[in-house]
């Protein structure tokens, strides 16, 4: 399993986005910032509470569009595209005919 966490702060709902990739399954998790450990990016956010989760199979015909739309709902288009590009380096996605 590959996982990566982005502590985006005010540019994302909740402030934290985590992506977990297991095989062909991509899970995007939105988490609320845990201010009890601090407000800096260097603070330990491992106990942050999850508030939303999106799961997509990379083999679905429109997997990258589904991921992009879910990420765009959580954060700005800039960060959504940055996270999607990282996902594509780990697992190939289908779609994006636009």
- Examine the pLDDT at 97 and tell me if it is beyond 80: no
- Examine the pLDDT at 1 and tell me if it is beyond 90: yes
- Examine the pLDDT at 69 and tell me if it is beyond 60: yes
* Cβ count near 88 (within 10 Å): 14
29, 96 Cβ separation under 8 angstroms: no
pLDDT at 36: 87
The whole-angstrom separation of Cα 73 and Cα 49 is 18
pLDDT at 31: 96
Longest dimension (CA), the chain: 44
pLDDT at 98: 52
The whole-angstrom separation of Cα 91 and Cα 36 is 35
Model confidence over 6-56: pLDDT tens digits? 999 999 999 999 999 999 999 999 999 988 888 888 888 888 999 999 999
pLDDT at 39: 83
The DSSP code for 92 is -
- Examine the pLDDT at 96 and tell me if it is beyond 90: no
């Amino acid at each position: 399993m590959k996982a990566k966490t982005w502590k985006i702060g005010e540019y994302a709902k909740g402030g934290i986005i985590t992506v977990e990739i297991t095989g062909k399954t991509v899970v995007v998790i939105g988490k609320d910032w845990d201010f009890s450990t601090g407000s800096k990016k260097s603070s330990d956010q491992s106990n942050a509470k999850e508030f939303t989760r999106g799961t997509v199979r990379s083999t679905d015909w429109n997997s990258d569009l589904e991921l992009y739309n879910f990420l765009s709902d959580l954060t700005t288009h800039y960060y959504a595209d940055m996270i999607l590009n990282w996902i594509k380096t780990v697992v190939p996605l289908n779609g994006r005919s636009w």
